Chain A
């Protein structure tokens, strides 16, 4: 019988696949962070709270309005994106002329407020959200719930779609140009502030989308984002801040590595990403895909 380090290869495949699925969430979240950081130079600390809001909006749609998962997949990100746009217009915008650290501090404060309010309204133990796609397939080496399969496919499509738009289309080239030289881009007749607002909304929408997709798997709770966000920060640092491709690859890759750690040395599965981050920083301070600045 074939065994790899004491684990039968079938089980290993299963774990790799699961890692990929978790990586899908990291990738979606770090992608949103990277897009926002690339254009606004703001580390969006609200990202975790916005992920949580996505899940909660889906829950509210279901329980208060009877709208199911599939429409929520579209509606919730839009709703959360709109709140994000309001935050950008009213608050974040005032800080662009200052040090970027103020953006971090502001979003940190907003994140605390949002989480506190949700905790007040919904308590901490969380709300259930039913699996819209129950059942699964036996792949021979593991039992794959249908829903998880959906998550991985959807997030791959979204990630590479975003990468394509930003790196390969005209709109994307405006965006990238605006980060380098906003004045020049404005001279071309492009409304840069609006572009920034919409980009922020898009990044926030990605976080909310991840939240909606997480709702059937994890408990919908006000605290679901606050611990995840720090892991995602590490993912972004490893991928290279602001690099779209870096955040996607690092997201999926770290998901897989974390998955393997859960098999071979489960005690370390929470720390492994931070250890990798430390190593990457020592060897390549700008991150795997980042350009040294």
Chain B
């Protein structure tokens, strides 16, 4: 209580002297919260912490003359653990900004907290497009990708590439349903047809039965509207049942490069995925990835980790421009400035918090095409931001005036 009073006094004092650069508590503190040990540790985890630290380093370690500090914690993919950490960070440890937060359930919980407590929230890890829809926040920035992009990008681009009949293998819960629905809509909009779908329970270990049904449908593309271990097992077993070699295409709707790494090219070859970053895309991404790999023990950055760098760098630039770390002013500045870095070109930030960026449709290489470690993807198509992301007026974000 006493402390609250004290900080508000200081805040009042600082507010009274607008000329000076203002940084609360004399430090800009970034809290990277993600999965350090579970399913998403490989695509987020320590790599995101490394990326955030790189961005801080590149900003000179200081902003407005004050030091920048990066701390991190493991939310274990549990929303209650994540929300306790977020509350503690903001209430007791003066954290200015929360970064990353994979797993939509935790992302949504932290979005809620940062919204009420007025802290910037840089989301790179979570997928749910609700974060810029129903649950959008003036302080929440959805940086790297979302479910709409994955669904729409893959669906749309694949139909154009000739995959016009689809069958879905859908994880039977809200996330899977949404992915199936969005992708199905994109497929139909592009002139394709959805032949059917089978709903499998989450954490199924055996997919043979479902794959057989998919095989029997004779669809050209089998869309995997599932995630994590389910996706990996279904891809693995699809290879066993000769689905890809039989001429059908597998489209992973939520597959990351680390999953491909875990599967091995022999199993994953031919898989089609959408990501917004790949380390080997162009000279700039390669340069960044090279620096990253020196720190990460040879693992290239995932799109989420790259997104963390991009978000933190932009945030620090905005603080510098705004001359304060006050959340309202920084948020406004962030929207005003275009995002520009190795993975983003003139990226606009919409009012709902969506960062508009290119998405890329990749196909996983055959083992003989791969020239070295982590050489996994070849580019099929580049998807423009306005095609990749949900139009502003369709998200039901309360910040959008209709």
A267 / chain B contacts, CB cutoff of 8 Å: 172, 199, 201
- Give per-residue flags for A128-169: 1 if the beta carbon is below 8 A from chain B beta carbons, else 0: 101100001000001101011000000000000000000000
A–B pairs, 11, beta carbons within 8 Å:
A19-B209, A119-B37, A126-B229, A128-B263, A128-B266, A128-B267, A217-B236, A218-B233, A228-B205, A269-B200, A270-B203
Contact check, B262 vs A266: say whether CB atoms are below 8 A apart: no
- Asked whether A11 and B242 contact (CB < 8 A) given A22-B206, A128-B262, A228-B205, the answer is no
Q: Which residue of B lies closest to A138 (CB)?
A: B242
Q: Which of A83-91, A203-211, A219-227, A237-245 contacts B (4 or more CB under 8 A)?
A: A219-227
Known: A125-B39, A128-B267, A267-B201. A219 touches B212 (CB 8 A): no
Indicate if A21 sits at the interface (CB-CB under 8 A).
Answer: yes
The contact size tier of chain A is 35 or more
- From residue 16 to 63 of chain B, which have CB atoms closer than 8 A to chain A? 37-39, 41-42
A6 to B299, CA, bound (A): 50
Contacts of B69 on A, CB cut-off 8 Å?
A: none
Of chain A, the residue at the smallest CB distance from B212 is: A14
Interface residues of B in 58-115 (CB under 8 A from A): none
**Cβ proximity bits A3-15 to B, threshold 8 Å, 1 near / 0 not:** 0000000010011
**B370 interface residue, CB < 8 Å from A?**
no
Contact across chains for B210 and A125 when beta carbons are under 8 A apart: no
A266 with B41: CB separation less than 8 A:
no
Please give, as numbers and ranges, the residues of chain B lying within 8 Å of A22 by CB-CB distance: 206, 208
In the docked arrangement, what's the CA distance between A227 and B203, Å? 8
Interface string of A116-132 (1 = CB under 8 A from B): 00011001111110110
Interface residues of B in 224-240 (CB under 8 A from A): 228-229, 232-233, 236-237, 239-240
Instruction: Give the chain A neighbours of B216 by CB distance below 8 A.
Output: 11
**Complex contact A128–B199 (CB within 8 A):** no
How distant is A172 from chain B, measured CB to nearest CB, in Å? 32
The listed residue with most B CB atoms (<10 A of its CB), out of A18, A127, A218, A266, is A266
- The reply to whether B229 and A221 form a contact with Cβ atoms under 8 Å apart is yes
Q: How many angstroms between the C-alpha atoms of A142 and B259 in the bound complex? A: 29
**B208 in contact with A143 (CB, 8 Å):** no
Interface string of B228-266 (1 = CB under 8 A from A): 110011001101111000000000000000110011101
In the bound complex, CA of A130 to CA of B242 (Å): 14
- Per-residue B-contact encoding for A270-287, CB less than 8 Å = 1, 0 else: 110000000000000000
Is A176 interfacial (CB 8 A cutoff)? no
Q: Tell me whether B340 is interfacial, beta carbon within 8 Å.
A: no
Contact A15-B201, Cβ < 8 Å, known A124-B38, A219-B232 = no
Contact B262 A125 (CB under 8 A): yes
Q: Given contacts A124-B38, A145-B242, A269-B201, list 19 more A-B pairs with CB under 8 A.
A: A11-B213, A14-B212, A18-B209, A119-B37, A123-B41, A123-B42, A124-B37, A124-B41, A125-B39, A125-B262, A126-B262, A128-B266, A219-B229, A223-B229, A227-B203, A262-B210, A270-B201, A270-B203, A271-B201
Using A123-B41, A123-B42 as known contacts, say yes or no to A219 and B209 having CB atoms under 8 A apart. no
CA distance A18 to B204 in the complex (A): 14
Contacts of A124 in B (CB 8 A): 37-39, 41-42
